[in-house]
Amino acid sequence: MCIQQLHSSVCIHSHLLGQLSLHWTVLRWNLKADKNWELPLPPGSMGLPIVGETFHWFLQGSNFHASRRRQHGNVFKTHLLGRPVVRVTGAEHLRRLLLEEHNLVGANWPQSAQVILGPTSLANSIGDIHHHKRKVYAKMFSHSALESYIPRIKQVVAETVRDWCAREGPVMVYSESKKLTFRIAVSVLLGSLPSKEELTNLFTVFEQLTQNLFSLPLDVPGSGYRKGVQARDKLHGYFEKPIEDMLQSSPEYSTALGILIKSSQEQGMKIGMQELKEAMVELMFAAYATTASACTSLILQLMKNPAVLAKLRMDLQTNGVWPESTTGENVSRLSDVTHLQYLDGVVKEVLRLLPPVSGGYRVALQTFELGGFQIPKGWSVMYSIQDTHDTAPIFQHPEIFNPDRFAEDQMKGKDARFQYLPFGGGVRRCLGKELAKLTLKILAIELATISHWELATKTFPKMLMVPVVHPADGLKVQFSAQLCNEWHS
């Protein structure tokens, strides 16, 4: 039964269940409040027995949390993916959660994600183990490492954009962006790409994993959970040989896998085969799904805001990033990209308006107070990035796409630490954020200097939030090649 059909079935029977179901659900979860605390549970609904509000969440997307926040405030309860959840919005609440990890809250991905990513993954690590792993992994995203990745990223991006421009019909931007970021992830991790057929098969398996990473933990034939586990096992099998080859020879330190192996040796941390396989899958997921979402949003926002695109092109030309060919040879070092302030603002504004991941998961390690309510020990806590961006007082007119809001003079004196956090915050902020931004900037440069694009449908699509932000129809766009000097003719 597909999710739409199941939702319809729930709606048909909900009237028959009526107040009896509602009373049972409320009573059940009130019993889980901490009796040693007089503070009430946050307001909100726990939905139906067992499934809670999971299907409403999938179907309503961003409207699910936004509507409940408007009704209940910045701290409310719900029931998602088999767990009671408190949803939290606002810098004043996020500051406490993110700074007191390992004290008030700990890492808590849904059970399906925990199993599929694996017990040794960085996402599932806690305490000192997590801290040490981050030090080892951080070397893959150092300045020197990022600079060594630039040629591979540029090559993949340039080939992709030329392919889009050469097509006669519209491009499905979201699906093509996933292929783009997947190729970048494989190239950065391994140093080269497999054959076209092998890459296509690998991509299909990886799509199966990402589509089922967040699923009800029902291990039965045909379930999303079972499909996700099967995809994980296939990926582990594929990565075993390149890992063995790397371990048996001198690691190539211009690849992320080689840098990871070397960094682990330097830190005195022996990484075995299973841990490296789980690291590969986790790193690819982090580099693939969220960056594909951001690439799609970048193209969408530049298409929606032609004045921003025109200003970006002018700024690139002023700063000498205006290649005479389609290869962008004058962008070869990290400094060639990082000094472009308006481009930096464009990328930051894309991530503010449409952060790829709408929130992060934690679990209450002890009962604590937040916003005048008790958060019981063992409950999930989901902090909202999207809603926090939308309500942050430092961003005037948040519905408007305005890269100039990130200009140095505009941000001076503003504390954005917990009001702007597209990559999360605290001890679990995204390690690969600079790689993601570098990819977005190289894509923006390539698009702005050699291509033209326009929407191939009558209206812009609705944006869905699960598992990452993406357009409902995939975003159909017609691309065409255009010489850079034509933009000023």
- From the centroid of its chain, how far is CA 312? 25
Contacts of residue 121, defined as CB under 8 A and 6 or more positions apart, other chains included, come to 278, 279, 281, 282
Tokens representing residue 369 in the block:
């107070």
Residue 486: per-residue pLDDT = 57
Q: 3.20.20.70, 1.10.10.10, 1.10.630.10, 3.40.50.720: which CATH number matches 128-488?
A: 1.10.630.10
Residue 485: per-residue pLDDT = 53
Residue 285: per-residue pLDDT = 85
Cis peptide bond prior to 355, omega within 30° of 0: no
- From the centroid of its chain, how far is CA 300? 17
At residue 419, φ and ψ (nearest 5 deg) are: -100, -20
pLDDT in tens, the chain (489 residues): 333 322 322 232 322 223 333 333 444 444 368 888 999 999 998 888 778 888 888 777 667 888 899 999 999 999 887 788 999 999 999 999 999 988 899 876 778 888 999 988 888 888 888 889 999 999 999 999 999 999 999 999 999 999 999 999 999 999 999 999 999 999 999 988 889 999 999 999 999 998 898 788 888 999 999 999 999 999 999 999 999 988 887 766 789 999 999 999 888 888 889 999 999 999 998 888 899 999 999 999 999 999 999 999 999 999 988 765 444 456 778 888 989 999 999 999 999 999 998 888 888 999 999 999 999 999 989 899 989 999 999 999 999 999 999 998 888 878 888 999 999 888 888 899 999 999 999 999 999 998 999 999 999 999 987 778 999 999 999 999 875 555 554
**83-88 and 463-464 as β-strands: parallel, antiparallel, unpaired?**
unpaired
Distance CA 54, CA 352 (A): 26
Distance CA 56, CA 40 (A): 25
Roughly what angle, to the nearest 10 degrees, separates helices 224-248 and 196-211? 130
HEC letters along the chain:
CCHHHHHHHHHHHHHHHHHHHHHHHHHHHHCCCCCCCCCCCCCECCCECCCECHHHHHHHCHHHHHHHHHHHCCEEEEEECCEEEEEECCHHHHHHHHHCECCCEEECCCHHHHHHHCCCCCCCCCHHHHHHHHHHHHHHHCHHHHHHHHHHHHHHHHHHHHHHHHCCCCEEHHHHHHHHHHHHHHHHHHCCCCCHHHHHHHHHHHHHHHHCCCCCCCCCCCCHHHHHHHHHHHHHHHHHHHHHHHHHCCCCCCCHHHHHHHHHHHCCCCCCHHHHHHHHHHHHHHHHHHHHHHHHHHHHHHHHCHHHHHHHHHHHHHCCCCCCCCCCCCCCCHHHHHCCHHHHHHHHHHHHHCCCCCEEEEEECCCEEECCEEECCCCEEEEECHHHHHHCCCCCCCCCCCHHHHCHHHHCCCCCCCCCCCCCCHHHCCCCHHHHHHHHHHHHHHHHHHEEEEECCCCCCCEECCCCCEECCCCEEEEEECCHHHHHC
Residue 483: per-residue pLDDT = 58
Domain boundaries, the chain: 3-109, 128-488
Distance CA 194, CA 178 (A): 17
Residue 252: per-residue pLDDT = 67
Question: 421: closest CA among 155, 100, 89?
Answer: 89
Exposed e or buried b for every residue in 83-117, given b needs 16+ CB within 10 A? bbbbbbbbbebbbbbbeebeebbebbbbebbbbbb
Provide the 10 A C-beta neighbour count for residue 410: 14
